Amino acid sequence: MGLLTWVAPALTALTLLFYIAIWAVGTGVLEVTTAIRLRKQIQHEWFLAVAGFASVAFGVLLMARPDTGALAVAWLIGGYAIVFGIALSSLSFKLRSLAHRLESHAV
């Protein structure tokens, strides 16, 4: 598999993009179905339906425009990585200061 990725990176990227698109459509359909089934048990089930429709639309757009979709997915992953990294860095500083406070109270 690694050799195939090394030999044909564009094909690997396209395969990954379609995997993400199919996953988005599949989960979107399941979310809409779940919202319909839960409409009598919970309130505001339409939020789940909206999320499902958004997932389906995202997947269909990725399949319709794989060139633009690949760039969009790359930007989304990059943005996610930056936000996640900042959040974890902030958490680590908070935890370090908490550890210092706990150590000073233990003495």
Measured CA to CA in angstroms, residue 41 lies from 31, 37, 44, 45, 92 at distances of 15, 8, 10, 9, 40
Query: Domain tally for the chain?
Result: 2
The predicted model gives 16-32 an average pLDDT of 93
Residues 54 and 17 placed together within one structural domain of the fold = yes
Q: What pLDDT, on the 0 to 100 scale, is given for residue 36?
A: 94
Q: Are 96 and 88 in contact (CB under 8 A)?
A: no
C-alpha 40/C-alpha 45 separation (Å) is 9
Domain that holds residue 15: 1-64
Tell me what pLDDT residue 93 has: 87
pTM of the model: 0.68
53 and 89 share a domain? no
- Same domain for 73 and 91: yes
Percent of the chain residues past pLDDT 90, beyond the cut: 32
Where are the alpha helices (H) located in 9-65, listed in sequence order?
Answer: 9-37, 46-64
In terms of domains, do 59 and 106 share one? Answer: no
**38-69 pLDDT, tens per residue?**
888 888 888 999 999 999 998 998 899 888 88
